[in-house]
Chain A
Amino acid sequence: MLNAYPLNSAPLNGLSGGALPETVVLQPGDSFVWSAVIKVAGVDVTDLCQGYGVSGNEDGDLAADFVLQLGSAPVDLRAFTGKSVTIDYVVHGDPVIVDRRFTGQLVEPEFDVLTRLLSCNATTRLEDDFEARELAEIDTFVVGWWSADVFEETAGRSRWDYTLERMSTRPASLNVDRQGNPRVTSWYPPGVAFEFAPGAAIYESVDVALAALSDTVNVYELEADYRYSRYRQRNQEYSWTHPQAPFELWRQDSTELPDVPMIEDATESAGWFVSLAEYDRLPGDLLDLPNPWKNKNTDLLLVANWTASKRWAQRGVEQYRIRLEVPEFVAAVGEVIDRARVVLDTESDGDSLWEGSGGDEAATDEELAELPKRDPVRLEAALRCAIEIGRVTILQSQRGSLVTWQVPLAHALGVDFGQRLRLLEGVTVTGTVASLSETASFETGEAVLTIGIAVSQGEASAVSDVLAIPVQPVFEDDAVDPLDGVLPTQLGNRSGVPEYNEELPGFAGNYSIADGDPGGLTKYPRRFAVDTPEIIAQWRDEVAAETAVTYRIAPPVDQLEI
């Protein structure tokens, strides 16, 4: 009678946070007697089976398979799909250990009419589970980062995809525990949960599969472009003063004067508008003066100081060139590069609204407030998300080495995903559980667990930079000579005045009273003209500015010594 008991089978409880978990050392185990309990929809069907298998990876579902010998009684085969399945592994020692190995549902039974064997495949249905969840629930569960600019808008899309997108920003895996509950397990758990002492693994079962060099990404180059409309406004100050201002002086030898509409027309005819104006107007009636003054047109000006403005929209591209690298490995094996590109674009529909605003047909402040502006929150979310994906890509590919070994199932019931293991069996290796596969055969008594751990490759001395959001690049304008806004005056209808100069900006007009034969004097047209500064092409065309940063990534270090 074999009365062995796996003394070193582990506590069944998972590890919780806090202090480093105590390492359980698994010494070479003893012989054991085992059985299993397979239940479908709560009914024990173990007697109809010849064994079972349960396998899974750290990412995704656990899957169980077993075959039911249905016997000769009639059965409703359709009723099997969707039934719950539990598998317990029982070690008959003192005490008897009953360990839940699988909880899930039958997804794809296959029936062989001839042999009346029902091949049952059961999984934990992660995808269905997450597809049915609310987005907020997924956010809370998975955490991570997400941006519609890096991925796609969520409306009408699979929430399972959304879940995986969030997971792609975390150095962690989404899997299912033995009770069927989804969970997120870290790639780098603290401490070592189990140590397999020399002789604890099955002879000649240890296999080391090193990652291929071309898969071990050590440089991740991220190009992120943020393109948006810059709403620009250029102001030009003008000042014009009548040569005989103020009023008292002007009155002694009065001239024609410009009025407000002339100033506005002159400004607007050049495509600008008056944004701010300060006028010194010809006074209205001043009857108290010794020589009373009567005037109805108070739009006539002696002095005008105003600001003309021009609005236009320019497309700007902020270019972020972010390089994540593991410098130690770049130096050792050269660059293995992975690239990604993220483009944040914005509508340019608001451009014409901005360009047409100002002046008489000014858009309301409300409309202008709704123009799409540079959105630092959106940009940061996208950059953060893309950077984290890059980091995870590097970390993932630096843990591509897989060490697998086998152990009698009863000796290592406690091994689970999200645990770090240490194996001392010809090699000294630590790593995080990445795959688990167990098979139990009732006929042969075979009950073996194949454990695969992912070994993270790093340098103990390596430094990891803080992955800060890069600073905003600055757009630079080409310099343009400033325009002198002081406008001259030319007055005609006097003897000795020069010919009318059409090109001269400012005010042109005539003295009210000629000093000679009015027919022989040069009269000027009454007009007001301004020169407007040029808005050069570099200020209008799409402009780009770049920020380049390099961050160092330090993958955690696992042992792998042969």
Chain B
Amino acid sequence: MAAPFVLGGIDVPLHAGAPDVSFADAGGFTDYTLGQGKPVRARHFSKQLITISGTGWMATGLDALDFDAEHLLLCPKPKRVATTDTVVSITTDARPDVPVACHALIGREWVQTPVAMDDREATITPVAGASQYSVVWYPMFTVLCQPPEDANAGGSVSWQINARES
């Protein structure tokens, strides 16, 4: 599935390198340890921290963006939720240009099965004999990015975008 890295409407070409994506939690919580060791989490918000990096022949072209503004980030790498149920919620919005897909595990084989989306709720077409379903989608976030670094060295450009879901 072709899912280019798009930030603020700008397609980052593959010539800038294949994007590596990592998803992380942006914090917003504090863990307390109670008197007898029980941990308790007080969470105020839950946001994603998305780091995308790559090394390629040309720069990303994202210098055109105003990095003080929020932008729409279309992730080039998917997330998955696993379920045994046929209705499941995905945890972020899915990018509109790539359909959400679902795989069913039958024995040792994953087979594709249609999935209908209603906002973030996925309804999976059941497959006989499936022991688990895995819904895969390419996330889309509204993010605020750190102004990126482009490093030109050794004939290639290495870059990294640190984005935080807003």
Chain B residues within an 8 Å CB radius of A198: 35-36
Partner of B43, one of A199, A200, A426, A445: A445
Are A442 and B45 neighbours in the complex by a CB distance under 8 Å?
A: yes
B11 vs chain A, min Cβ distance (A): 33
| CB of B92, distance to nearest CB on chain A (Å) | 12
Q: Are B32 and A448 in contact (CB under 8 A)?
A: yes
Interface contact A199-B32, CB-CB below 8 Å = no
Residues of chain B lying within 8 A (CB to CB) of residue A34: 42-44
Evaluate whether A447 and B37 lie within 8 angstroms (CB atoms) in the complex, with A31-B42, A442-B45 already known. Answer: no
Total interface residues on B, CB under 8 Å, equals 20
Interface residues as binary, B19-54 with A (CB distance below 8 Å gives 1, 0 otherwise) = 000000001111011111111111111100000000
Please give the distance in Å from B96's CB to the nearest CB on chain A.
24
Could you tell me if A446 and B42 are in contact, using CB atoms closer than 8 angstroms?
yes
Within the complex, what minimum Cβ distance (angstroms) separates B131 from chain A? 24
CB-CB under 8 A from B37, the residues of chain A are 199, 203
A4 at the binding interface (Cβ < 8 Å) = yes
Given A2-B43, A31-B42, does the pair A445, B28 have CB atoms closer than 8 Å?
Answer: yes
User: Of B27, B29, B36, which one neighbours A199 at CB under 8 angstroms?
Assistant: B36
- Would A445 and B29 count as touching, CB distance under 8 A? yes
Tell whether A33 pairs with B44 under 8 Å between CB atoms, given A443-B28, A444-B28, A445-B29. Answer: yes
Is A410 engaged at the interface, CB distance under 8 Å to the other chain? Answer: yes
- A200 engages B41 (CB within 8 Å): no
Between A and B, 7 residue pairs with Cβ closer than 8 Å are: A198-B35, A199-B37, A202-B32, A410-B42, A411-B40, A445-B27, A448-B30
Residues of chain A within 8 A (CB-CB) of B35 are: 28, 198-203, 206, 425-426
If A28-B38, A34-B42, A34-B44 touch, whether A408 touches B28 (CB-CB below 8 Å) is: no
Q: A237 to B28, alpha carbons, bound, how many Å?
A: 100
B43 partner residues in chain A, CB cutoff 8 A: 2, 31-34, 445
Q: Is A186 an interface residue (CB 8 A)?
A: no
Can you name the residue of chain A whose Cβ is closest to the Cβ of B36? A199
Question: Are A444 and B27 touching (Cβ within 8 A)?
Answer: yes
| A491 and B45 alpha carbons, distance in the complex (Å) | 122
A555 at interface by CB-CB < 8 Å: no
When distances are taken between beta carbons in the complex, the residues of chain B under 8 Å from A202 are: 32-35
Interface residues of A in 1-46 (CB under 8 A from B): 1-2, 4, 28-35
Task: State the Cβ distance, B164 to closest chain A Cβ, in Å.
Answer: 12
A368 to chain B, nearest CB (A): 75
CA distance A534 to B40 in the complex (A): 91
Q: Are A408 and B32 neighbours in the complex by a CB distance under 8 Å?
A: yes
Q: Is there a chain B Cβ closer than 8 Å to A433's Cβ?
A: no
Does A409 have its Cβ within 8 Å of any Cβ on chain B? yes
Min Cβ gap B87→A in Å is 16
CB-defined contacts of A32 to chain B, threshold 8 Å: 40-43
Q: Determine the distance from Cα of A199 to Cα of B40 in the docked complex, in whole angstroms.
A: 11
Contact residues in B for A444 (Cβ distance below 8 Å): 27-30, 44
Tell me the smallest distance from the CB of A26 to a CB of chain B, in Å.
11
Name 4 extra pairs, CB < 8 A, besides A32-B42, A199-B37, A444-B30: A28-B36, A199-B35, A202-B34, A446-B42
- B contact residues around A199 at 8 Å (CB): 34-38
Residues of B within 8 A of A425 (CB): 35
Chain A positions within 8 Å of B40 at CB level: 28-32, 408, 411
Residues in chain A near residue B41, CB distance under 8 A = 2, 4, 31-32, 445
Taken residue by residue from 119 to 160, chain B's Cβ proximity to chain A (1 for < 8 Å, 0 otherwise) reads as 000000000000000000000000000000000000000000
Q: Output the nearest chain B residue to A2 by Cβ-Cβ distance.
A: B43
A200 touching B34, Cβ below 8 Å? yes
> For residue A35, which residue of chain B has the nearest CB?
B44
Task: State the CA gap A146–B65 with chains docked (Å).
Answer: 73
Cα separation A409 to B43 with both chains bound (whole Å): 12
Distance, CA A395 to CA B44, complexed state (A): 42
CA gap between A409 and B35 in the complex, in Å: 15
Q: B44 contacts which chain A residues (CB < 8 A)?
A: 33-35, 440-445, 447
Q: With A and B bound together, what is the CA distance between A445 and B43 in angstroms?
A: 5
A411 contacts across to B, CB distance below 8 A:
40
Taking each of B32, B40, B42, which has the highest tally of chain A beta carbons within 10 Å of its own beta carbon?
B42
CB contacts (< 8 Å) of A30 on chain B: these are: 40
Residue of B33, B35, B36, B41 ringed by the most chain A CB atoms within 10 A? B35
Q: Which residues of the partner chain B approach A441 to less than 8 Å between Cβ atoms?
A: 30, 44
For B33, list chain A residues within 8 Å (CB).
202-203
User: Provided the pairs A30-B40, A31-B40, A408-B40 are in contact, do residues A445 and B34 lie with their beta carbons within 8 angstroms?
Assistant: no
Contact code string A250-294 (vs B, CB < 8 Å = 1, else 0): 000000000000000000000000000000000000000000000
CB distance from B140 to the nearest CB of A (A): 19
A206 to B33, CA, bound (A): 13
Cα(A294)–Cα(B42), bound, Å: 121
User: Given the complex of chains A and B, what is the CA–CA distance between A34 and B46 in angstroms?
Assistant: 11
Partner of A445, one of B38, B39, B42: B42
Across the A-B interface, the 5 shortest Cβ-Cβ residue pairs: A199-B36, A31-B41, A445-B29, A445-B44, A203-B33
Most chain-A CB neighbours within 10 Å: which of B28, B40, B46, B91?
Answer: B40
Which residues 39-98 in B have Cβ within 8 Å of A in the complex? 39-46, 91
Digit string of A439-482 for contact with B (CB within 8 Å is 1, else 0)?
01111111110000000000000000000000000000000000
Which residues of chain B are within 8 angstroms of A206 by Cβ–Cβ distance? 35
A201 lies within 8 A of B28 (CB): no
Q: Interface digits, A386-430 against B, CB 8 Å rule (1 contact, 0 not)?
A: 000000000000000000000011110000000000000110000
- Distance in angstroms between the alpha carbons of A22 and B27 in the assembled complex: 39
Contacts of B42 in A (CB 8 A): 31-32, 34, 408-410, 445-448
In the complex, what distance in Å separates the CA atom of A447 from the CA atom of B40?
11
Contact B28 A203 (CB under 8 A): no
Chain A residues within an 8 Å CB radius of B45: 442, 445
Instruction: Judge whether B30 and A445 touch: CB under 8 Å.
Output: yes
Once the chains are docked, how many angstroms separate the CA of A425 from the CA of B33? 13
Q: Which of A35, A203, A426, A442 has the most CB of B within 10 A?
A: A203
